[in-house]
């Protein structure tokens, strides 16, 4: 059941596990995070196909996104600008999918996502970050798919 942002969130200062719990309870955020995972898989698959089309041999089905980017770069298949964009989106994807909990229990310093001075309504900010990341992953997958 989805709860409207203006009903659930009141602009109350929220931190740590309490904010993490709000993220988990947000159907909108968790759905968008799922779409990030799907878009990430799309990008990985497009990179694998591109490597195969380019006659690059390897067992790419077990390689991480970073490893696929490395293989494409090493073989001269992507230019510097695309490499930078792919590495940035990979870093953001890894952070949002693997490190949010660690961020809020102070195992990680604040880098990509904010953890200090948050309000409960900042769940919307996290939602927007996930939405933008999904769009970036899909756009990069489309760019890779168009490469010959």
Q: Is the pLDDT of residue 48 over 70?
A: yes
Examine residue 16 and state whether it is found in any structural domain, yes or no.
no
Question: How sure is the predictor about 5, in pLDDT bands with cuts at 50, 70 and 90?
Answer: very low
Examine residue 12 and state whether it is found in any structural domain, yes or no.
no
Examine residue 102 and state whether it is found in any structural domain, yes or no.
yes
- Write out pLDDT tens, residues 19-44: 999 999 999 999 999 999 999 999 99
Q: Is the pLDDT of residue 6 over 50?
A: no
Mean pLDDT, rounded, for 73-90? 98
CA atoms within 13 A on the CB side of 98: 6
Examine residue 2 and state whether it is found in any structural domain, yes or no.
no
Task: Indicate the average pLDDT of the chain.
Answer: 93
Examine residue 62 and state whether it is found in any structural domain, yes or no.
yes
Query: How many residues are listed for the chain in this entry?
Result: 148
Q: Are 104 and 20 in contact (CB under 8 A)?
A: yes
Q: How high is the pLDDT of residue 63?
A: 95
Q: Closest by alpha carbon to 95, among 113, 122, 116?
A: 113
Q: How high is the pLDDT of residue 3?
A: 43
Examine residue 90 and state whether it is found in any structural domain, yes or no.
yes
Write down the pTM of the prediction.
0.91
Q: In the chain, how many domains are there?
A: 1
Question: How crowded is residue 106: how many other Cβ atoms within 10 Å of its Cβ?
Answer: 10
Q: Which domain holds residue 66?
A: 26-146
Q: Is the pLDDT of residue 96 over 60?
A: yes
CATH number of domain containing 60: 1.20.120
């Amino acid at each position: 059941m989805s709860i409207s942002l203006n009903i659930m969130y009141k602009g109350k200062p929220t931190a740590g596990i309490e904010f993490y719990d709000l993220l988990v309870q947000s159907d909108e955020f968790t759905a968008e995070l799922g779409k990030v995972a799907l878009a990430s898989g799309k990008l990985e698959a497009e990179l694998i196909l591109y490597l195969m089309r380019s006659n690059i041999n390897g067992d790419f089905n077990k390689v991480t996104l970073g490893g696929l980017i490395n293989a494409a770069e090493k073989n001269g298949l992507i230019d510097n600008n695309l490499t930078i964009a792919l590495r940035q989106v990979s870093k953001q994807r890894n952070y949002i999918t693997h490190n949010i909990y660690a961020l809020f229990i102070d195992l990680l310093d604040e880098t990509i996502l904010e953890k200090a001075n948050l309000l409960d309504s900042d769940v919307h900010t996290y939602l927007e970050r996930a939405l933008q990341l999904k769009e970036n992953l899909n756009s990069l997958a489309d760019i890779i798919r168009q490469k010959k």
